[in-house]
Structure formats: C-alpha cells, structure tokens
Amino acid sequence: MAKIIYTHTDEAPLLATYSFLPIVKAYAGKAGVEVETRDISVAARILAQFGLADDALTELGELAKTPEANIIKLPNISASIPQLKAAIKELQAQGFDIPDYPESPNNAEEQEIRAKYDKVKGSAVNPVLREGNSDRRAPASVKNYAKAHPHTNKPFAEGSKTRVATMGQHDFASNERSVTLPADDTLSIVLEKADGEQVVLKDGLKVLAGEIVDATRMEAAALQAFLADTLAQAKADDVLYSVHLKATMMKVSDPIIFGHVVKAYFADVFEKYGADLAAAELSPNDGLGGILAGLDALPNGAEIKAAFEEAMASGPRLSYVNSDKGITNLHVPSDVIVDASMPAMIRNGGKLWGADGGEADTLAVIPDSSYAGVFQAVIDDVKAHGPLDPATIGTVPNVGLMAQAAEEYGSHDKTFEIPAAGKVVVKNSAGETVLEHDVQPGDIWRACQTKDIPVQDWVKLAVTRARATGAPAVFWLNETRAHDRELIAKVNTYLLEHDTEGLDIRIMAPTAAAKFSVERMRQGLDTISVTGNVLRDYNTDLFPILEVGTSAKMLSVVPLIAGGGLFETGAGGSAPKHVQQLVEQNYLRWDSLGEFFALVPAFEKYAEQAGNPAAKVLADTLDRATGTFLNEDRSPGRKLGTIDNRGSHFYLALYWAQELATQTESAELAEAFKPLAEKLAAEEQTIVEELLAVQGKPVDIGGYYRPDAAKTEAVMRPSATLNEALASL
C-alpha cells in the first residue's frame, strides 16, 4: 500500500515537524494520502542499538531498495563523539538503561558496546537511505525570490589576507591508487609490519566486476609539519587560524586529523601533560571542549587549564564558533563543517570571528588537497571581480554520485590509523596484491568502493538534466587523480549509451570547473555540476549560499535506483543555534521551505504509486502556495516580534487551503477546503497574535536529543484557533 514516510530527525527540523506535520496530515488525509512517521533521530538510533526502540533506519533502508519507497528525509545529526556522548548522557538521565561510550574498549563486552555506538556515529543515516543519486537545485521560485530580494555577499577588503592552506602532497589526494575490478572478488586488507608480523585489518570485502576500489593514506609526519607551518604563517600574518574538516561524514579519518590540529596548536601543552590527558581518556580527537570539561577531575587540572589558556594567549589567533561562550574552532570537531563554513566565510568577505567577536581575515586550513582548490578558486574570483550579485547571477545545480555509499563516504569501515611501520596491502582472493602503500605509525590509511550501477545511473541523470535544462553539464573529475581516471573511463563509456546530440557535456578538474562555473554565473548563465559524493556535499552548500543565501531552500530529489523516491529537505547546519533560541526565547527561526519543496514531488510520487489523482492536486496547489509564500515574504523573521517558524507554517496552510479551495481539478477537495480557507483568512489576525504572544519567554521541551513529545507539541502549537481550524477538517 502506498504511503509517504515523513522522518522524525533532530534539533530544529524536529521541532518544526511538531508544528508542520499536523498541517500536512490534515490536508493529506482529505485527499486519501497516508502519511506515516519514522524516528531516525540520533536518540532513536542509539536506543535501537540496545533494543529499546524500533530500528526505523534499517526498515527505511530496506524500503529504499523497493519501488514503493516514498520518503521525506529531514536533516539529521551526523553525530561526532562529543555529540554521541551528550546524547547518551541525556538518555541515561531520562531513565534509559544504556552504557557509557567506551573511549578505549578494554574487553570483548566494551568492544561490542563500542561497535553498537559506532553504527550511530557520523553520517549513519545517509548511506543507508541514499539508494539513488542526487538531483539538487534551487527551485525557480526560490531563485526568482533571491533576484527580487537579494541578500548581501560582502566584498573582500583590499589586500585581504584570507586564503586556503592545503597540503598538496603526502595527503589523501596525492597518495591515491585506484583500480577497476575485472571480476567479482573478495578482498582483504593486510598490514604487513616491518618486523614480519601480518595483521588483517579487513577481511571478506565483497566487490563486483566493474567496481572501482581506491586506497590512499594521509602521512602523519607530513600532516604535522604542514600544521606547524600553517600555524607559523597565521601568526606571522596576524590572521585567524581556522581548520575546516568534515568530521561528521568522514567520521573516522577527520576526527583524527582534527586531533592532530589540536595537538599542533597546543604542542607545548601536550608535550608536558600529554600523558596525564591520555591517562584520563581526554582525547584531542574529541576537541578542546571535551578536554577542558574533564580537567576538573585531574589533580593537576587547574595547572593544565592554565597552560591551555597561556597557549591560546601566545599562539596565533583562533577563529571562534561562539565568542560569547568562548567556543573556539578547536572545541568540537563537528562544530565547523567545511561545506557550510567555507561558503559562509566567502559570503562574509573572507572574514570569520575572533575571541572578541570581531571579524578578521582568516587562514582557512583544509589539510587534504582533493577539493581545497575549489574554495580557493571562488575566493580568487571574488577578490578579482567583487562579490557575486544574487540579483543577476546564474545557478549551479548539482547531479551527485552518492548511491550506495559511493566514494570516500563509504570508507568508514576501511579506514585505519596505522599502529606500526610497514606496508598496507589490498589482496584479492588469490592472494595477489591489488593495491599497496608503505606506511608509518600514525598514518591514516583508507580504502573505498564505488559500485558500477550507481555510476551508470549518475551518467544517465546528468544527461537527463542537461537535456531538460539546456545547461552545460560539467563532470568535475581530475585526470591526474587515480580515482577520477577510473571514473572518467566509465563516464566516457556510459555517455555513448545516451543521446547527447546538441548537449554540452564536459569533463574538467574541480578547480577549473569551479572557475568556469563562477565565470558563467557572473554572466547570468547556469552550469550543472556533475560531481562525486564529497563534492556533491560541498557544491550544494557553496553555490546555494552565494546564490540564494542558504542551502536550506534547495529542492533535493533522489530518484532511487529501484524506482522509489527519496526527497531531502535541505541542510541543517544552523539547527543547534535555533534550538537554543527556542529554549531561551520561545522563538524558532528555522525555515521549513525545504520541507514544502520536498512534499511536492512526494505527493506527485504518491499519485503515481497509488493511482490517486487527488495527491497530484495536493502537489500542484502546494507548489503554487509556496510561490505565494515566497512572494509575500512569509519565511521566519530574524528577531523577536516577527513571525517565526510556526507563523510561517500558518501562512503556508492559509495559501495552500486557498489554492485547494479555488482549483478546478477536484470539486470534492475544493468543497472540503473552502470553509477552512475562509476561516483561516478571517482569523489571520487572531492566529498571528496567538503565535506572537508566546515569544520572549523561556520554554521547557524536556530534552535536546530526545525532547518530550507532549511538552514540545504544546510549545510548537500555541495557537488554539489554528489548531481548532485544522481539527475541523
């Protein structure tokens, strides 16, 4: 039976769901459309590991492999270890009998517990649900609104010192080796130590004919030297020092790199007190915040804290996540996510915020050089030609290869911090060497797979979008990179299977592709970026933030390979601050526009799956209502006294009801919604007053990772008039 699955997730998107989903269910119900929910929040995922909640993620992962899938996926927490520990602590306080996270497992039981939590850590959701490739773009209504109401992209100051620093050698990009497997096989990954001992790191790795298998390493000694050099550069240039990683998606490698940055900045502190910190299991990989919080338990904790403070006073200036609360760029590995933080810095004229809250030029440190040049190319363009003007620029939609954990994002179970010198060898079932690297202690070695069917589907989707839009489609692939060479061969092969006559399809290295795309943007021209999985993440923040001010307003359609649909609702990077503001002021700034956009294709998919024309009417009327919503500027305001997320939902409900009442495709729906449309219009002032009246006072929602449902519903549905009107349906 056809149904739409609406996911319960985390933070601000979850809070908004308490307000918006009752509207969706009420309207959908009148058209015979079934909407169900599944809880895939980090709290629910933790509880599921211990049999205390349904394993909704696994259920949806199986559903995504069927033609029946119709899933609306809201932004969720990709938990770093500090977030995971905080969620565990909250759940324990709520009475759930779950164990602590074992930082260093000492026995089989603790190893089993750690393995359960590792299934929740990082981007646990996306690889499971993304059984298709990504079609992500700014809807025409959003693009038109941005042109009519342009946000400000600030200019870089004359002589700006802001730039990107990256390794360029001895990193993942430069050490990569890649091969396309000629036949089905089973691989193993073995560390051959210099003393002759052989350690199996991974066994039974199934691969299919045509799959690309990569292996690479980040050399620890080179990383440490690079970090020492960049710290000296930042100090000499008197700019902010800021590291930009992806510790959520790259949940094994990037926290280790982050730990290297913490140790490099506080080198003297770790040289003197490193053994004390290690004995207390205060890991630099978890960030400065976790270390400082744990110092009170140490006999010499005050002495160590003073040493950290002295290092910050004498070292290069750090960028801050929240200067008011003293939260630096090095406090939490998941606080600064490269795909959101870099475009925000570019939009702000190349400046981040220092300890005093003031803005300053920044040395943006992106250790691995795979994609760092993309951001430098945009910085160079803005320095040379001024800020991009949202009123006139073109758009850069994305077709992303992400199905079945493609590329680096599928590397978590094949990423290792090397314990001893030797050689890491990837062997086939015949014992032959497929790929190998010499390694030293501390090196970060990883392998990843890219399956062939997703690549075929990716090429097909790129051609489809190029044909539909007439825009050039550029594959961002670098022929000098091992993995990309293998992909280029496949792209050239699979393009021959499609009618590409009259289409402009190119292959360009990422830095050149970024430069080309930005140049076309300035001419008001559109360019489709066709990218791998990591660049999909980067580009679908970089360009939307510069074009329309945010990536939360994007339409993200994932045509699942099996025939179903996954509809994602935008990014959630600012969600934590929104939750904080709600709790302190009963004001939620989160913009649900992404949910509005996702619902349209979900209703269209339902109409197709269930043979229900009324669902198509819901889609068409919602699409028009969203256009009115934008034209009337009903998105949440930025300060108290304006409508927030709940007020924006009311106006969407009003415009949607009016569209349903006046459409002519379904007389039954028009009759059903006419009284509601009239009532909402008549009671507009009363409803808005009820929504505004609650602002400015602290509220209790009963938890951050697992808020209390009754308390949260009461907070998020404060208008009795609106609630009664919806109930009348």
pLDDT digits (tens, 9 = 90+) for 115-147: 999 899 877 888 888 899 999 998 888 898 899
In a domain, 720, yes or no: no
Exposed e or buried b for every residue in 343-356, given b needs 16+ CB within 10 A?
A: bbbbbbbbbbbbee
| 506: confidence class by pLDDT, cuts 50, 70, 90 | very high
Q: Which residues contact 562 (CB under 8 A, 6 or more apart)?
A: 64, 65, 66, 67, 69, 131
- Rounded to whole angstroms, the Cα distance separating 649 from 629 reads 10
Instruction: Summarize the confidence of residues 477-488 as an average pLDDT.
Output: 97
Instruction: Summarize the confidence of residues 43-65 as an average pLDDT.
Output: 96
pLDDT number for residue 114: 92
Q: Which residue has the tokens 């950290």?
A: 308
Helix (H, G, I), strand (E, B) or coil at 708: coil
With CA atoms as reference, report the closest residue to 93 among 710, 706, 719.
Answer: 706
Quick check: 572 pLDDT over 80?
no
Diameter of the chain by CA atoms? 82
Instruction: Summarize the confidence of residues 264-277 as an average pLDDT.
Output: 96
In a domain, 676, yes or no: no
Quick check: 570 pLDDT over 80?
no
Both tokens of 570, joined, read 């935008």
Cα–chain center distance at 176 = 25
| 574: confidence class by pLDDT, cuts 50, 70, 90 | low
- Rounded to whole angstroms, the Cα distance separating 183 from 537 reads 31
pLDDT number for residue 130: 87
Instruction: Summarize the confidence of residues 278-304 as an average pLDDT.
Output: 93
- Rounded to whole angstroms, the Cα distance separating 661 from 672 reads 7
Q: Are 541 and 398 in contact, with CB atoms under 8 Å apart?
A: no
Quick check: 571 pLDDT over 70?
no
691-708 pLDDT tens trace: 999 999 999 999 999 999
Instruction: Summarize the confidence of residues 707-726 as an average pLDDT.
Output: 98
Q: From its phi and psi, is residue 94 left (phi > 0), alpha (psi between -120 and 50) or beta?
A: alpha
Q: Are 228 and 315 in contact, with CB atoms under 8 Å apart?
A: no
In a domain, 264, yes or no: yes
Exposed e or buried b for every residue in 384-414, given b needs 16+ CB within 10 A?
A: eeebbebeebbbbbbbbbbbbbbbbbbbbeb
Instruction: Summarize the confidence of residues 530-547 as an average pLDDT.
Output: 94
Instruction: Summarize the confidence of residues 644-661 as an average pLDDT.
Output: 98
In a domain, 266, yes or no: yes
**13-22, 40-49, 124-133, range with the lowest pLDDT:** 124-133
Quick check: 1 pLDDT over 80?
no
- Rounded to whole angstroms, the Cα distance separating 45 from 79 reads 11
Q: Which residues contact 328 (CB under 8 A, 6 or more apart)?
A: 288, 312, 318, 319, 320, 321, 355
Backbone angles phi, psi at 439, to 5 degrees: -135, 160
Quick check: 573 pLDDT over 60?
no
Backbone angles phi, psi at 62, to 5 degrees: -70, -40
With CA atoms as reference, report the closest residue to 205 among 414, 438, 485.
Answer: 414
Instruction: Summarize the confidence of residues 315-337 as an average pLDDT.
Output: 92
With CA atoms as reference, report the closest residue to 645 among 704, 708, 581.
Answer: 581
Q: Which residue has the tokens 């050039």?
A: 472
pLDDT number for residue 77: 86
Tally the domains of the chain: 1
pLDDT number for residue 582: 96
pLDDT number for residue 210: 96
- Rounded to whole angstroms, the Cα distance separating 291 from 92 reads 22
In a domain, 340, yes or no: no
Give the percent of the chain with pLDDT over 70: 99
In a domain, 460, yes or no: no
Instruction: Summarize the confidence of residues 34-49 as an average pLDDT.
Output: 97
169-201 pLDDT tens trace: 999 999 999 999 999 999 999 999 999 999 999
Instruction: Summarize the confidence of residues 679-689 as an average pLDDT.
Output: 98
Q: Which residues contact 207 (CB under 8 A, 6 or more apart)?
A: 181, 184, 185, 186, 187, 213, 449
Cα–chain center distance at 275 = 35
| Residue 245 DSSP symbol | B
Quick check: 576 pLDDT over 90?
no
Comparing 530 with 553, the larger pLDDT belongs to 530
State the residue range of the domain holding 278: 250-316
Instruction: Summarize the confidence of residues 246-272 as an average pLDDT.
Output: 94
Q: Specify the pTM.
A: 0.86
With CA atoms as reference, report the closest residue to 530 among 569, 551, 548, 504.
Answer: 504
In a domain, 164, yes or no: no
Instruction: Summarize the confidence of residues 655-666 as an average pLDDT.
Output: 98
For the chain, the straight-line distance linking the first and the last C-alpha, in angstroms and rounded, comes to 24
pLDDT number for residue 81: 85
Instruction: Summarize the confidence of residues 424-438 as an average pLDDT.
Output: 97
pLDDT number for residue 623: 94
- Rounded to whole angstroms, the Cα distance separating 77 from 43 reads 10
pLDDT number for residue 213: 97
Most confident of 322-331, 637-646, 652-661: 652-661
Element housing 279 (H / E) = helix 267-279
Element housing 114 (H / E) = helix 108-118
Instruction: Summarize the confidence of residues 336-347 as an average pLDDT.
Output: 93
Q: What is the mean pLDDT of the chain?
A: 95
Give the percent of the chain with pLDDT over 90: 88
Quick check: 575 pLDDT over 90?
no
State the helix-helix crossing angle for 338-347 and 533-548, rounded to 10 degrees. Answer: 30
In a domain, 155, yes or no: no
Q: What sign does the CA torsion over 324, 325, 326, 332 have? A: negative
